[in-house]
Structure 1
Amino acid sequence: MRTILVLILISCPFLLCGQQFPDFKPARYDEDYSFLENDTVSSWYKSLKYKKIGKKAYVGFGGDFREQYLIKTNEGWSSELEDGDGFTLTRWLFHADLHLSEHVRFFAELQSALANGKDTPIPIEENPLEVHQFFVDVTPFPKIPLSFRLGRQEVAYGSQRLISYRDAPNSRRAFDGIKMMFAKNNIEADIFYLHTVVDKVGIFDDSSSPDLRVWGLFSNVPLTKGGLSFYYLGFNNAMAIFYDGPGIENRHTVGARILKKVGNWQYDVEGAYQFGSIGDRNIEAWSTGLAVSYRFEGLKYSPELGVKADFISGDKNPTDQVQQTLNAMFPPGAYFGLAAPIAPSNLIDVHPNATFRLSDTMSFLCDYALLWRNSRTDGLYRPNMTPFFELDSGATSRFIGSQLSGTLMYQTYGHLFLGTGFSWFDAGQYLKEVTEGKNILFGFVSAQLKF
């Protein structure tokens, strides 16, 4: 509560700038404040976001501070990791955006992620100080909308099922590499080759992994009130571990997604197929996802009711030469919520959900998820795609469990975001066969300030 009050006080000066600014982007490097060159209103915040330093050169600064208090009972469906008083996750990001000309731009960002009150924090929770992003953009041809990005950078595509920012846990994900970007008439296409940046619990010690890399093509074509995406992703992991054994993994993913809005209806459909090899085993994996929602604009609070469903392949036989487990590669880290961080692999899930807009600044979201194993001969995976448990041939149930969640979000001043919520994970028969099968209760309070 003290942190929330402090952030409210800190956010008050942003009210004094007297100007309207665009909404913050999920990736801060996508924000463009060059329009401020012709803005005649003077304010300290304008000077922070846009400072001319030459005929065509300017620099801007920004940041993000987030504090979360979390409490979780029976983590991992076990009483061994019981934490009675919870813990806090603190993260701050600070960036500088330097445009030397229309053709050259540098972007740099520092990140600090801290976990307080947790006995054994993992690197994505505790990473005291690191160069999170540092890249240069070059646009060499004045009449061709083609740019090249080289260096450390955040990357996310589409629904973020396979490549995400990983915003929820604490420390956001970064990659080292090169990307070529084309954008014209709302048609976008990226070609990239990237190495994963390994999170380490130290200061300025994160490094590029030679053993974990991704490359590919992502394109997006606009439709009337929607969009159509196509992608190819290549993936290499020199130290892959699955329930049917370790090996060098060379995996290829082809997929497509269509997002469409028709009246008050919205549809989101995505499918992907994976092939390649893990050691001497061939890969044959797939996934399909569907989300449908309808917004009742004439009713109080404009309720939006929807349902999501995923069908994601798992391995059918751990002793044969074919591997059917879908690799989510770089998922969000909280695909089904922070209460039970399960990777979207070997799963069937159905999520009825509802959103209520209580006011212009406040909304309430609730979700009920039902989870099953797709294959009885494959287990569950953590978000980093390592097995959750030992493979137990005696565990025959498909039903993993159900999860009820609710979140109340409040946005004020355009800079301050407050949230609180809970999740109740009711362990199903499968979890009772391989763990203590304890139910998980998770709650959080969050405050975030962006500038």
Structure 2
Amino acid sequence: MKLPDFPPFQAPSAGSKTLSATHRSQGPSPRPFLKFCNFCLSAGTLGLALQAFAAEPAPAGNKSSEPPLSGSTTVAPTTAPASAAPATPAAPGKFDWSKQPPVSPPPRPGVFSIAPTGPGYYSLMDLITGKKRDAAPVFPYAPYALMTTPAFDMDFRYREKPGYEPDFFDPLKRIKLGDDFLLTLGGSFWYRYMKENDLRLTKADDSYHLIRSRFHADLWYRDNVRLFAEFIDARSFGQSLAPLPTDVNRTDMLNLFADVKVATVKEAPVYIRGGRQELLYGSQRLISTLDWVNTRRTFQGAKAFWRTADLDLDAFWVRPMITEPDRFDNWDTKRDFFGLWSTYRPMKGQLVDLYFLSLLNDNQTLAFNRPANIIGSSNTQTLGGRVAGDYNQFLYELEGMYQFGKLANLDISAFAVASGAGYHFKGQPMNPQFWLRYDFASGDSNPNDNRYNTFNQLFPFGNYYLGWADRVGRQNIHDFNAQLNLHPMPWATFTAQYHRFYLANKRDFLYNASGNATLRDITGQSGSHVGDEIDFRFNVHVDRHQDVLIGYSKLFAGDFLKARAPGVAPSLFYVQYNIRF
């Protein structure tokens, strides 16, 4: 394995927007200042960590709000079982781990569903063994095979409370090394079988297998310093078509960072994180770990964050990682991504996101969001806001995003809107929930004027919103969609989606889930109706650690697809097995 020429903390990328090894930037960075920042980030983070280890001990019993436990698609219980007593306070002079270390709760996604409550069997194993529960068990892993929440935000603090339900992997969790150090080990493995028909719009079929292994170690010194490392190995077998950049990343690092507490504001800690790290914000329409792909997505850089019971504030500067399947990954020195993000929770079940994001892109080998005849760097600024929640069984969400800046010599002006309303039929058999939604992202009508109006979807979890066939991205699109969620049993989840896709501007491209421009009719004569997609997913929660997911997606061609890719009928069938520990 050839190591990169950069300082420490350079590693993997797991996103949809990646480059092959042949597209690696060569020679010295065109941005000496940012390269110097990278060196300072790596050396300075370790310096701060060592300094904090030697610092004066923090007072015992540092207060921290205990975040809810939730998964990528469902909202899980937030309280411990009634039999669990309050955590036992630490002895005088010893650090109190009962609410430490602090954990960032995963944000509620759009098109969220609400998990079943009340007596029942909450896993297939519960049913087999006859273990009927009064309520869902408290556990950090979502009862679903896909989980975008990073491993470093898994919350095992419930184990400090007497009466918690023991688990086979407990010896790996919250290992106390003396009074001041806490170590947690864990990982996951998945296998997925994929059967694709016309999925790349080339009349080519493929059947293949994906496997992914992840292992992590998480070491805390009190709540002052954290060192987190996570290994990933992602592979594919049996592919007749070339693997996608997101299919393979052999023996690399997904996360490798240090956290240092630099202040306490209103009894809540302020941390600085430096190194390789996954990012996940808000609805994940713009920033996500992208758990659907085999490699996930990660960045490298620095982040400062502050968490309270009702307000979160983040500021970050990072670069996306470039996945190189057989080499140690490097960050993309030609792309810089920074932003400010705030989340306010005025009451239980309600949230407000406000954010500013900036993507500076000098990488000319990336074809995302630019016509072939435009050569030059881009500077895309995004302002956005979102409200979401549930109230009296009504579910709602509204997010608006506006972009401005420069693409070469063009002025950027683009926007996107995501809206939805739903209803939770509480107390009815199978816990039904139904959503009606409309999503829009602007396109460009004239490639020869001095304006560029195609929305840039940045780093999204696009499949979750725009269909699992991956043919449609949040760029130049209208999407009228509906979703039905059912829980035939508390351990079984069935989701059905319907999408009707239209191009927002029929002279612009159809963009796929990765943001790549795929098909276009510059004359607009092929119409705007892309097609209609159906998606079905059925998840079996086997036990606290294991899930099986079965899915099928089919895109029925509209006038545009029939004209630009005659005879294609994209479909996807998959079966996935997950185990987390």
| TM-score, normalising length: structure 1 | 0.91
Q: How does 1:25-424 map to 2 (within 5 A)?
A: 26-34=149-157, 36=159, 45-79=169-203, 81-83=204-206, 86-119=207-240, 120-142=242-264, 145-203=269-327, 205-224=328-347, 225-238=349-362, 239=364, 241=367, 242-243=370-371, 245-334=374-463, 335-389=465-519, 392-393=522-523, 395-424=525-554
Tell me the amino acid that sits aligned with residue 447 of structure 1.
Answer: Y
Cα distance change on mapping 1:183 and 1:164 into 2, 3 Å? same
Q: Provide the secondary structure at the position in 1 that maps to 2:262.
A: coil
Cα distance change on mapping 1:144 and 1:356 into 2, 3 Å? closer
- State the distance in 2 between where 1:343 and 1:96 align: 35
Q: Identity percentage over the alignment?
A: 27
Tell me the amino acid that sits aligned with residue 332 of structure 2.
Answer: S
- State the distance in 2 between where 1:309 and 1:91 align: 34
- State the distance in 1 between where 2:167 and 2:459 align: 40
Tell me the amino acid that sits aligned with residue 97 of structure 1.
Answer: D
- State the distance in 1 between where 2:313 and 2:189 align: 32
Alpha-carbon distance, 1:385 to partner: 2.5
Contact 1:175 1:195 in 2 (8 A): yes
Listed one character per residue, the Cα deviations across residues 3-41 of structure 1 (whole Å, up to 9, x for unaligned) are xxxxx99xx9xx9xxxx6522271111123355356588
Q: Provide the secondary structure at the position in 2 that maps to 1:431.
A: helix
Cα distance change on mapping 1:199 and 1:333 into 2, 3 Å? farther
- State the distance in 2 between where 1:37 and 1:404 align: 45
Tell me the amino acid that sits aligned with residue 444 of structure 2.
Answer: D
Cα distance change on mapping 1:63 and 1:208 into 2, 3 Å? same
Listed one character per residue, the Cα deviations across residues 44-82 of structure 1 (whole Å, up to 9, x for unaligned) are 622201211122101011111111111011122331x22
Tell me the amino acid that sits aligned with residue 213 of structure 2.
Answer: W
Q: Which runs of 5+ in 2 are unaligned?
A: 1-123, 132-136, 143-148
Tell me the amino acid that sits aligned with residue 210 of structure 1.
Answer: T
CA RMSD, 1 decimal: 2.2
Contact 1:37 1:50 in 2 (8 A): no
**Residue matched to 1:5:** none
Contact 1:364 1:407 in 2 (8 A): yes
Contact 1:351 1:369 in 2 (8 A): yes
Listed one character per residue, the Cα deviations across residues 405-432 of structure 1 (whole Å, up to 9, x for unaligned) are 1111111222111110111110111112
- State the distance in 1 between where 2:550 and 2:419 align: 27
**Residue matched to 2:139:** 22
Cα distance change on mapping 1:58 and 1:115 into 2, 3 Å? same
Cα distance change on mapping 1:72 and 1:43 into 2, 3 Å? closer
Alpha-carbon distance, 1:381 to partner: 1.8
Tell me the amino acid that sits aligned with residue 231 of structure 2.
Answer: L
Q: Provide the secondary structure at the position in 2 that maps to 1:145.
A: strand
**Larger deviation, residues 353-362 vs 34-43:** 34-43
Tell me the amino acid that sits aligned with residue 345 of structure 1.
Answer: Q
Cα distance change on mapping 1:195 and 1:434 into 2, 3 Å? same
Contact 1:132 1:174 in 2 (8 A): yes
Cα distance change on mapping 1:265 and 1:34 into 2, 3 Å? closer
Contact 2:424 2:433 in 1 (8 A): yes
Tell me the amino acid that sits aligned with residue 24 of structure 1.
Answer: Y
Listed one character per residue, the Cα deviations across residues 267-294 of structure 1 (whole Å, up to 9, x for unaligned) are 0100010000000000000011112111
- State the distance in 2 between where 1:411 and 1:372 align: 36
Q: 2:565 aligns with which of 411, 435, 449?
A: 435
Tell me the amino acid that sits aligned with residue 299 of structure 1.
Answer: Q
Contact 2:229 2:257 in 1 (8 A): yes
**Residue matched to 2:94:** none
Listed one character per residue, the Cα deviations across residues 302-335 of structure 1 (whole Å, up to 9, x for unaligned) are 2111112101100121100100000001122524
Tell me the amino acid that sits aligned with residue 213 of structure 1.
Answer: D
Q: Provide the secondary structure at the position in 2 that maps to 1:29.
A: helix
Cα distance change on mapping 1:351 and 1:99 into 2, 3 Å? same
Contact 2:508 2:520 in 1 (8 A): no
- State the distance in 2 between where 1:409 and 1:45 align: 23
Please state which structure has a larger fraction of its residues in strand. Answer: 1
Listed one character per residue, the Cα deviations across residues 246-284 of structure 1 (whole Å, up to 9, x for unaligned) are 421100000000012111111010001000000000000
Q: Which runs of 5+ in 1 are unaligned?
A: 1-7
Q: Provide the secondary structure at the position in 1 that maps to 2:284.
A: coil
Contact 1:342 1:380 in 2 (8 A): yes
Listed one character per residue, the Cα deviations across residues 218-270 of structure 1 (whole Å, up to 9, x for unaligned) are 10000223100100000011125312634211000000000121111110100
Alpha-carbon distance, 1:342 to partner: 2.4
Q: Provide the secondary structure at the position in 2 that maps to 1:223.
A: coil
- State the distance in 1 between where 2:383 and 2:304 align: 19
Tell me the amino acid that sits aligned with residue 317 of structure 1.
Answer: N
Contact 2:468 2:535 in 1 (8 A): no
Cα distance change on mapping 1:326 and 1:43 into 2, 3 Å? closer
Q: Provide the secondary structure at the position in 1 that maps to 2:466.
A: coil
Q: Provide the secondary structure at the position in 1 that maps to 2:169.
A: helix
**Residue matched to 1:3:** none
- State the distance in 2 between where 1:257 and 1:385 align: 22
| TM-score, normalising length: structure 2 | 0.71
Q: Provide the secondary structure at the position in 2 that maps to 1:148.
A: strand
